[in-house]
Amino acid sequence: MQGTNLVVTNVSVNGVTANFNVAPTFKPYPIVVGTVATHSWISSMRVAASADDLMDDFTIIRNPCIYGNVFHDKNGMNDYYVNGTGIGIASGTQLYVVLVNGSGNVVKSVAVAADGTYSISNVTPGNYETRLCTSAGTVGNPAPAASLPALWANTGENIGAGAGSDGVTNGIMLAVNPTAGTRLTGASPVLTNSTGVFINFGINFGPLPVTLVSFTAAKQEKIVLLKWTTATEIDNDYFIIERSSNGTNWETISQVPTQGNGSNLQYYQGKDMTPLSGVNFYRLKQVDIDGKFVYSKTVMVDMRHNNEQTLMLMPNPVIGDGLTLILSDIEATGNCKILLYDMTGKITKTYNWPLVKGTNNMTINGMQTLAKGVYQVIVEDQYGRKIGKARFIK
């Protein structure tokens, strides 16, 4: 690497510099293959001579890494995207992306570059979370809490460059699962990354119009009672309660006006008088007097009978490599085991995951390696008891 470029400086065969074959003419050294920022997932690269002693055979080792951007997202995700101008220093404070393991300790951390890019390289495959922080922490020690300089606020986090966020604007992305590195070979290998995880963080300057302390939803016989509490409200106009059957497509249930600006605790509630018969997802849309809005985290209520399983799978049918499991009403912590069965009853994949009380969102990878068909997912707690079961289509 030279500066920000991936460069082939010189290659010799029997002590003689060999030409580099770039048809239709030969190209002198150094040869810039790409940039570190564009190809941060490359762990190592080798250029080998072919039978004609021309440098035209690549071997590229793909690096399990976590990379992406931190954006000054001035529109607060009103366009549904985590985007904006790249930023690495906010109000004179350096920002860091910290990789945290299941024990809550720092695995690695990197300073965000001035243009907002970052890359955590050579990550051992596993389950992690990433945090946007004002301190790097110390490897092996408890990780610092997600934090921003005064008057800065998180606007969203997203895996990939598409629309949406993880539903909780807290500077933390859960369920980050880099996979093992692989090799690309050939005369003209396509530089694509299939082992890294691309995560964007959005932040904005200025006090939040509303500080939401809590948001809950609970089943009460045949209805759902929703409650939320605010600590401060500035120029708030109203709240909208939205509901979804799958966490993707949303509809408005009701609108609740603000109780007024202030810095005291204010308590709100709403009701869904006709919830869906299965799993119901809820979120708040807080709208300012100027029409700007932000979303709360997503909560879930299961209206099925208690003897039915509370495991949801998304997307279903599976369309990519990842499958998200949503397991609700968990009362105990500890590691769980996720088992994937094909229709012959054979276990095709197993995963381990730490459980938390309440609702668990777990994303597992490796779906692209499965043959087409119907699969069953069974989740067992640390004592081997079945706590969730569902089917999906590949």
Token pair of 391, please?
């089917």
Q: Is 349 helix (H, G, I), strand (E, B) or coil?
A: strand
Do the domain assignments include residue 83? yes
Do the domain assignments include residue 187? no
Do residues 83 and 146 share a domain? yes
Residues with Cβ within 8 Å of 174's Cβ and at least 6 positions away in sequence, in order, are 129, 166, 361
Residue with the bigger pLDDT between 13 and 98: it is 98
Confidence check: pLDDT of 3 > 60: no
Token pair of 9, please?
């400086």
pLDDT tens-digit series, residues 332-380: 678 889 999 988 888 899 998 888 878 888 899 999 889 888 898 999 8
Residues with Cβ within 8 Å of 369's Cβ and at least 6 positions away in sequence, in order, are none
Do the domain assignments include residue 189? no
Helix, strand counts (H, E) of the chain: 0, 35
Do residues 296 and 321 share a domain? no
Of 205, 240, 269, the residue that ends a domain is 205
Confidence check: pLDDT of 253 > 90: yes
Do residues 171 and 241 share a domain? no
Cβ contact 244:250 at 8 Å: yes
Do residues 53 and 92 share a domain? no
pLDDT at residue number 35: 52
Nearest residue to 365 (alpha-carbon basis) of 307, 303, 301, 322: 322
Residue 337's CB is within 10 A of a number of other CB atoms, namely: 14
Do the domain assignments include residue 80? yes
Do residues 248 and 218 share a domain? yes
pLDDT tens-digit series, residues 84-129: 999 999 989 999 999 999 889 999 999 999 999 998 887 887 888 8
Q: Which residues are 17's β-sheet partners? A: 12
Q: What is the 3-state secondary structure (H, E, C) of 204-236?
A: EECCCCEEEEEEEEEEECCEEEEEEEEEEECCE
Do the domain assignments include residue 188? no
Q: What is the mean pLDDT of the chain?
A: 78
Do residues 50 and 83 share a domain? no
pLDDT at residue number 106: 95
pLDDT at residue number 377: 92
Lowest mean pLDDT among 54-63, 200-209, 302-311: 54-63
Q: Read off the pLDDT of each residue in 20-28 and give the average, rounded to a whole number.
A: 47
DSSP 26-79: EEPSPEEEEETTTTTTEEEEEEEE-TTS-EEEEEEEEP--EEEEEEE-TTTTTT
262 CB-contact burial (10 Å; exposed 0-12 / middle 13-18 / buried 19+): middle
pLDDT at residue number 113: 94
Confidence check: pLDDT of 254 > 90: yes
Do residues 214 and 270 share a domain? yes
DSSP 366-387: -GGGSPSSEEEEEEE-TTS-EE
DSSP code at position 298:
-
- C-alpha 239/C-alpha 217 separation (Å) is 15
pLDDT at residue number 294: 79
Do residues 214 and 156 share a domain? no
CATH number of the domain bearing residue 340? 2.60.40.1930
- C-alpha 311/C-alpha 336 separation (Å) is 13
Confidence check: pLDDT of 145 > 80: yes
pLDDT at residue number 121: 80
Of 302, 337, 361, the residue that ends a domain is 302
Of 13, 29, 62, the residue that ends a domain is 62
Confidence check: pLDDT of 170 > 70: yes
Q: Is 80 helix (H, G, I), strand (E, B) or coil?
A: coil
Do residues 319 and 341 share a domain? yes
Do residues 58 and 73 share a domain? no
Do the domain assignments include residue 22? yes
Q: Is 367 helix (H, G, I), strand (E, B) or coil?
A: helix
Confidence check: pLDDT of 45 > 60: no
CATH number of the domain bearing residue 275? 2.60.40.10
Do the domain assignments include residue 108? yes
pLDDT at residue number 53: 45
Do residues 131 and 153 share a domain? yes
Residue 212's CB is within 10 A of a number of other CB atoms, namely: 20
Phi, psi of 289 (to 5 degrees): -70, -20
Token pair of 120, please?
């955590």
> What residues make up the domain containing 131?
67-181+195-205
Nearest residue to 199 (alpha-carbon basis) of 119, 123, 102, 138: 119
- C-alpha 265/C-alpha 376 separation (Å) is 45
Do residues 139 and 230 share a domain? no
pLDDT at residue number 273: 94
- C-alpha 139/C-alpha 136 separation (Å) is 9
Residue with the bigger pLDDT between 4 and 325: it is 325
Query: How many domains, in total, are found in the chain?
Result: 4
Do the domain assignments include residue 186? no
